[in-house]
Structure 1
Amino acid sequence: MSERTKIKYSIVDLFAGAGGLSFGFLQTGRFMVKAAFEMNRFAQQTYLRNHAIEESCMYSDVEDALSEETKKKLGHVDIVIGGPPCQGFSNANRQKNHAISLNNSLVKKFVKTVLHLDPKAFLMENVSMLQSEIHRFFVADEDMSDIEQYGIPTTDSQIHLLEMEFVFKGITEIISDANMISRYLWEDESYLALNVVFKNRGNMDKLRAALIKHRRKLTALAKELLDIEGENYIIQQGRQAGDALERYFNYDEIDGLCEAIRPSILLQRMLSKALEIKNNRIVVERFSDEGDLVAHVKSMSVLDYITSILEADCNGYTISKGVLSAATFGAPQKRMRYVVMGIKKHIADHIELPVGTIKEENFKTVHDAIGDLEAVEPTTRIEEGNIGVPIGTAPDGISELGLSLHDSTILYNHVSTATTERALERFKAIRQGQNFHSLKPELKTTYSDSERTQNTIYLRLIYDEPSGTVVNVRKSMWIHPIHDRALSIREAARLQTFPDSFVFCGTKDAQYQQVGNAVPPILAKSIATHFLEYLDVQPQHVHSVHGYIDDNQSNSLLFV
C-alpha cells in the first residue's frame, strides 16, 4: 500500500437516514464520518450503532451545518454527501392538496451546506426522476439574489387554486391577504375530518363509516359553520355544508351530502394553498380568475439551481450528473438513483460518473441475496428481532453475494408482518412475479378502488431475478418468493446489500422504512471508490512524520 492510499478522507453526511450511503464509503476503508445530520430518532440510533462516530457528532437539524460554530468544530471537510428528500417539488404533492412543501428547502440547504463547508467534493443522490423538468422550485423572495448572481434560468409557471365554477367576485382580494385567508380557513382537524368523508363519496359503506368515526368533530364543525354570520360566498358554502351534516346526524339524510360539502372542501384547499404561497414567500406576479383561479409565478428546475450555483467560477466545482442502475454495480434489485457528483476544479477539470460493469444476464438475483435464509423462520415480534437468532456460519453453496452479506453468526431484524387470514388467502393465490392485480375480484374487496392499486402491492418476488426498487416493503406487502408470508426486514436489507452485521433500530415500521429509504451500500461503495481515483492523484506535500496534508491543509486522516 502506498503512502498516498493510506489517507482517510473525511465525510459530512446530510439527510443521513440509517446511513447506507456513508456505510458504503466506510466499506472502502478510506473514509471516516466527521458528522451526520438526521432528524428521525430511530434512524439516528441505527446510524450510531453501525458507524464509528460519537453521539456528539450526530445532529438532528441540517440547519446546524450552516452555523459558524459547527464549521469551526468540523474543520476541513473532504466530501459532503447526502440525499435530500424530493417529495416536495412542485408536481409531487397535488394529491395531498399542497402547492409547496418544506422539502423544497432541503435541496437548497444541501447546496448551501456545500458552499458553507467548501469541501473538495460532494455527492447528492435522489430518485431518477430528479432529472425531469417537472421537478421544479417555485421562485421565492429568498431566491431572487441567487437568480441574479448565478444566472439561474426561470420559467413562467402556474399554481392552480380553484375550478372556475367556484370562483366568485372578490376572491383575489381574499387570497392576496394573509389575514383574510386565515379568517376563512378552518382548523386542520376540521378540514381533515370532512375531507375523509368526501374522499369516500364513491363507497356508501365507507362513507357512513367515516361519518360515524368523525361524528364528534363533524357535529362541532357543523354548529360552527351554521353560527357564522355573513353572506360571503365562502360563508354561504360553509353554511350549506353544516346544514347537510346536521341533516345526516339528525335525520340520517345522506343523499346529496357529498355534493353539498364539495364546494367547501375545494374552497378550503384553495385557501390552504394560498396561505402556503404567502408563508413560503413565493413571488406571485398576478392572480387570474377569468377561468380557473390561478397564481402566476416563476419556477426553476432543481438541476438548474444546483448546477448554476455550484459550477459558478466563484464556487469552483465541476459537476457530472446522471442515473445509475444499482443492479449494474452488484445490487440484486433494479433500483435507479440520480446522482450529482462534484469536485473542485483545481483537483480535476472534469469528473465522470462511475460505470457499472455487470451486464443484465449476470445481474444478482433475489435468491443470491436471501436464498440462504429460506429455512430461518422470521418472528413477528420486533423485540425478538432485536435480540436476533443464531444462524452459524454461511452454508455450503451460498452465492458470492450471499457470502459477503452473511458476515454475522447472529441474524438480527429477521422480523416480518403478522399474516392475517385474508392476507394469507391472497399470498396463496399469487405466484412469483404476480401482484394484487392478479387476484380474483372477491380477494380485492377491502380496497375502495382496486384498479388504482400500484403494481408493487402484494408483489411476490421472483427468485431468479433482481427485485424491483425496495421501498417500505411492509406497506407494499411484498411476498417471499416461496413462502406464504411477508418479506422480513432482514431480507429487505439483504436486497439493499446491507450485511447481517448492520443492525437496524426502532419500531418495526421504522426499521422497514429505514431499509426502504436507504442507498444500497454496494452502490455507495462503488461511488466512493470512484471518488478516490480523483482525490488520490492530488499533489501532496509532507506535513509531519505521521502523514500527508494537501495544499488546502486538509485534516484527512491516515491509517495507523
Structure 2
Amino acid sequence: MQVEQKGLFKYSGIDIFSGAGGMSCGAMAAGVSIDLAVEFDKHSANTFKKNHPNTLVIQDDISNINPKKYITTPPFVVFGGPPCQGFSKSNTKTRDIGNDNNNLFREFIRFVDELQPQWFVFENVEGFQSFNKGKTLKSLELTFKGLKYTTSHKVLCASSFGVPQRRKRFFMVGNRDGIKFEFPKETSTEITVKDAFHDLPKLINGQQDSALPYISKPQSQYAKLMRGATKESTQNLVSRNRDYVVERYAHIPQGGNWRSIPNHMLDNYANLDNCHGSIYRRLNLDEPSVIISNYRKNMLIHPEQDRGLSVREAARLQSFPDSYVFEGNLVSIQQQIGNAVPPLLAKEIFSQLISASK
C-alpha cells in the first residue's frame, strides 16, 4: 500500500482529527492526495508527518484553525472522525450531550461549510447512530441537507473489506452535486489472524526490538500486501506485564477470555461479575481479530505466545503497511493504532467516491 505522496494526484483531500493517519493512508492508496491534516495530539501528529512528509500537518486545537488560510479552492473531499468517547457504547459514565467531545463534530461541519468540498466522509463509532435515541444523527443529516449535501450513512465491519479484525465503524458520506453515495460491497472472504501474523517474529513478554527478520516468506496475500518492499519487521514492541499476569495467560485457550483463569488467580478483582468479556482475550488464529481499540488495557493475548500484542502485530490487524512508522512512547503508539480507521477499509470508501465522481 502507498503511504507517501509521489507524483501528482487528481483528487485532493483534507484530513481533520487525523490521528496517526489511517484514513489518509487508505485515501492515498485509492488515489487521493492529502493537502492538509489537523490533529491535536502531538505524538499522533508526529506519526502523520513521518509517514506523509508532503502533507501540511497542523498540530493544534481545531477550533483555532481557519481552513481558508491554507486551502484556497474547494477540495475533492474533507474527511475525519471527531473524538468518539462521548458516543461509544462502552462509555457508560459520560455518554451524554454534555460530554465536551460530542461538540467536536460541529467543527467537522464548520470545515465542510467553509471549504465546500465535493464530498465529505464523517467517521465515528458504531454507537453514533443510536446516540441520544438517534436524534443526533438526524440533526447531522438535516444540517448537511441545509448545506446542500446529499448524504448516506452505514455501519461497516472492517472484516468484510479485507481487514483481519471485526471492527465496526459508522460512516456518513455526503456529496454536493446530488449524488447518493452507494457504499462498497462486502467481500465474502475473511482474513484471519494467522494470515496477518504467520511471518512475523516470535517475541516474549516485554520485548523491545526496533527491527527483526521476518521468519518466513509471505504465505498469504494479506501478508504480502502488508510487507510490500519492506525488508524486516519493525517496531516489535511488547508491553511488559507482571509475572502473575503472564501466568494467567497460560490458562486461556484461543478465543477464550478471563473466564478460563482459575478464580484464585483473580483475587485482585473485587467483583468478577463486572469483568468485561474483552478482558484477557486470546486471539483465535483461524478467525479475524476482535476489536483492538485499547489492546494494552484489555490485555489482548497473542494466539500462541503468552504475551500481549506487539506494535507491528496490532498494526497488521488494523491493515497499516509494515513500512508505517509510529512516533511517541509505547503507550501513545498503542493508543494511536487502537484509535485508527483501518486503511484498507478507508481505501474501499475513497475508491468508491472516485468511481462515483467519474
Instruction: Provide the TM-score with structure 1 as the length reference.
Output: 0.59
Match of 1:509 among 331, 339, 343: 331
Matched, 1:370 2:197: yes
Tell me which residue corresponds to 1:401: 222
Pick closer, same or farther for the CA change 1:98–1:302 going to 2, 3 Å.
Answer: closer
Is 2:137 the partner of 1:303? yes
Q: Which has the larger radius of gyration?
A: 1
Contact 1:320 1:351 in 2 (8 A): yes
Superposed counterparts of 1:201-212, under 5 Å: none
Partner-residue secondary structure (3-state), 1:401: helix
Q: Distance in 2 between matches of 1:520 and 1:416?
A: 21
Three-state SS of the structure 1 residue aligned to 2:289 is coil
> What's the secondary structure of 2:100's corresponding residue?
coil
- Say yes or no: does 1:50 pair with 2:48: no
Shift of 1:50: 0.7
Amino acid aligned to 2:341: V
Residue matched to 2:68: 71
CA contact (8 A) 1:93 1:100 kept: no
Aligned length: 349
Q: Secondary structure at the match of 1:459?
A: coil
Cα deviation digits, residues 399-440 of structure 1 (max 9, x gap):
110111123113222111113221121011111111012211
Alignment of structure 1 residues 136-535 onto 2, 5 Å = 301-312=135-146, 315-345=147-177, 348-356=178-186, 358-359=187-188, 362-373=189-200, 375-377=201-203, 380=206, 384-385=208-209, 388-391=210-213, 395-396=216-217, 398-407=219-228, 408-535=230-357
Residue 121 of structure 2 is aligned to residue 123 of structure 1: yes
Q: 1:132-158 CA deviation, whole Å, 9 max, x = no partner?
A: 15367xxxxxxxxxxxxxxxxxxxxxx
* In structure 1, C-alpha distance between the alignment counterparts of 2:304 and 2:180, rounded to whole Å: 48
Q: Report the equivalent of 2:3.
A: none
> After alignment, is 471-480 or 98-107 more displaced?
98-107
CA distance in 1, matches of 2:180, 2:326: 38
CA contact (8 A) 1:91 1:135 kept: no
CA distance in 2, matches of 1:45, 1:495: 22
Unaligned runs of 5+ in 1: 1-5, 137-300, 538-560
Q: Distance in 1 between matches of 2:28 and 2:171?
A: 19
Q: Which has the higher helix share?
A: 1
8 Å CA contact retained: 2:212, 2:236? no
CA distance in 2, matches of 1:19, 1:135: 31
Deviation at 1:479, TM superposition (A): 0.6
CA contact (8 A) 1:120 1:343 kept: yes
> Does structure 1 conserve the Cα–Cα contact (< 8 Å) formed by 2:141 and 2:151?
yes
Q: 1:109 to 1:398 in 2, by over 3 A?
A: same
Q: Which runs of 5+ in 2 are unaligned?
A: 1-7
Q: Whole-Å Cα distance in 1 between the matches of residues 119 and 232 of structure 2?
A: 37
Determine the C-alpha separation between the residues in 2 that align with 1:416 and 1:379.
6
Of all paired residues, the percent bearing the same amino acid is 34
Deviation at 1:96, TM superposition (A): 5.5
Q: Does the 8 Å contact 1:321/1:338 carry over to 2?
A: yes
| Separation in 1, partners of 2:237, 2:89 | 35
Per the normalisation by structure 2, the TM-score is 0.91
Task: State the distance in 1 between where 2:285 and 2:222 align.
Answer: 14
SS in 1 for 2:191: coil
- Which residue of the partner structure matches residue 35 of structure 2? 34
Change (3 A) 1:27 1:378: farther
- Residues 86 and 103, structure 1, Cα contact 8 Å, conserved in 2: yes
Q: What is the rounded CA distance, in whole Å, between the counterparts of 2:267 and 2:86 in structure 1?
A: 33
Partner of 2:132: 134
Superposed structure 1 runs of 4+ greater than 4 Å apart? 89-94, 96-99
Q: Distance in 1 between matches of 2:92 and 2:322?
A: 39
RMSD: 2.2
Report the residue type matching 1:305 in the other structure.
Answer: S
Q: Secondary structure at the match of 1:27?
A: helix
Displacement after TM superposition at 1:95 (Å): 2.5
Counterpart code for 1:128: E
